[in-house]
Amino acid sequence: MQKILLPKVLDFQSYDSVFSEVAVDSSENVIFDGMDLNWIDPNGMVNLLAAGSVVRDGSGHLPSLILPKGEEVTSYMARMGFFQAANGIFSAESFVSREDKRASSDVLLEVTQIANNSDIHKVVDKVQKRAGAILTNTLDYAPNAVVQFSVVLSEVCQNIIEHAESSGWVAAQTYNWSHRLGRLVVVISVTDLGIGFKGSLSGEHSSKFGKEWDDTKALEAVFVHGLTRFPDMGRGQGIQQIRKQVRKWNGMVSVRSGTSRIIDVPHWFESDSLQEGLSNFPGTQINIVVPKRIQHEL
C-alpha cells in the first residue's frame, strides 16, 4: 500500500510534489491522503484527476482518496464538479456520499472533460454568459473582453485535441488571490495525459535540434518561437496567441510538459521563467491567471 500525502495547498506550483510520488508502473494499491488539504484551485483539481488516472492506468486499480477534514474545501470541490469527474478514476467509496452541487452560481466552469471538438463548443457556450458577468462586473474589463476570453478558453482546450492525442480536463474559477496578489483573479486550468509537446513536435522539429532536443526545447519552440507540428504556416499557433492576449491583460501563462515548465512571468509574480528537472508529467498542463483590471497598469 502506498500513501501519497497531498500538500495543504494544491495549485499549479505544488502539484509537482504529488507527481513526484506517482509511479507509472506499479501494482500497489494507492491512497491519496487529502485530509490536511485546506485549499485547492482549478489546477489542483484537474491535476489530481490526472495523478489518479496515472495510478489507475499503471496499477490496474482505482486509487482511494481521503477527503479533506474541512467541509468548506469538500463543498467547493463538489460545486466545481470534481466528484462527478472523479468517477472511474478514484474508488467510489472515497466520495460516494458527496452531494453533486454542479451549476452553482459562483462557479465559472466546472471540471469538464475534453475529448473532441464538440466538447470545446459546449464549454465555450456554457462559459460566455457567466464570464461576461465576472469579467465586466467583478474584474472591471470592457465588454469585448468576453469574446477574447472565450477565444483563449477555446484555444487552450483545442491544444488537447491538436497535440495531446488524448482527452483531458478544463476548469476555471474566480477568487480573491489575497496571499499572492491581493486582488481578484480568474484562473483557467487545462491538463491532459497525452504525448506532451516534445512528443507532438518531434516528427517535424527534433532533427533541427539533434541531441539537444528535450522537453525544454519543445516548450521554447512553442512558447517563444511559435513553432507547431504542422508544416504549413498559420496553423497551431494557439499558445503564442494566448500568451499575447494574456500579456495584454497583465496576466500569467505557464505551460508544463514532461520535465519542464515555462512561464510568462508578470511583474506581480516571482518565479523563474524556466523550470527544468521536474518530475515527469506525462502530458501537458496549461495555467492562466488573469487579474482584476487596474487602471494605471493599462
- Residues of the chain under the 70 pLDDT cut: 23-26, 94, 96-106, 164, 178-181, 203-205, 226-237, 295-298
Q: Return the exposure string of 253-291: e unless at least 16 CB atoms fall within 10 Å of the residue's CB, then b.
A: bbbbbbbbbbbbebebeeeeeebeebeebbbbbbbbbbb
E-state strands within the chain: 2-5, 9-10, 30-33, 39-40, 64-66, 109-114, 168-176, 184-192, 252-258, 260-264, 274-275, 281-291
**In terms of domains, do 76 and 160 share one?**
no
CB 161 within 8 A of CB 116: yes
**In terms of domains, do 139 and 275 share one?**
yes
Query: What's the rounded Cα separation, in Å, for the pair 276 and 260?
Result: 4
CATH code, domain carrying 59: 3.30.750
**In terms of domains, do 18 and 146 share one?**
no
Which of left, alpha, beta for 265 (phi over 0: left; psi -120 to 50: alpha)? beta
Note the pLDDT of residue 293: 84
**In terms of domains, do 89 and 206 share one?**
no
Of 101, 117, 132, which one is at a domain's C-terminal end?
Answer: 101
**In terms of domains, do 78 and 131 share one?**
no
CATH code, domain carrying 189: 3.30.565.10
pLDDT in tens, 87-139: 999 997 767 656 555 545 568 899 999 988 899 988 888 888 788 888 888 88
**In terms of domains, do 91 and 237 share one?**
no
The three grid cell numbers given for residue 166, joined into one nine-digit string: 488524448
**In terms of domains, do 45 and 190 share one?**
no
Note the pLDDT of residue 173: 92
The three grid cell numbers given for residue 4, joined into one nine-digit string: 501519497
Note the pLDDT of residue 26: 67
**Secondary structure in 3-state letters for 15-47:** HHHHHCCCCCCCCCCEEEECCCCCEECHHHHHH
Of 38, 68, 101, which one is at a domain's C-terminal end?
Answer: 101
**In terms of domains, do 71 and 113 share one?**
no
Query: What's the rounded Cα separation, in Å, for the pair 206 and 36?
Result: 43
| Total of domains in the chain | 2
**In terms of domains, do 238 and 156 share one?**
yes
Note the pLDDT of residue 52: 95
What is the phi/psi pair of residue 158, to 5°? -65, -30
Residue 17 CB-density burial (10 A; 0-12 exposed, 13-18 middle, 19+ buried): middle
pTM of the predicted protein model:
0.90
Only one residue has cell 487579474, namely 291
**In terms of domains, do 90 and 135 share one?**
no
DSSP 171: E
- Provide the residue range defining the domain that includes 51: 1-101
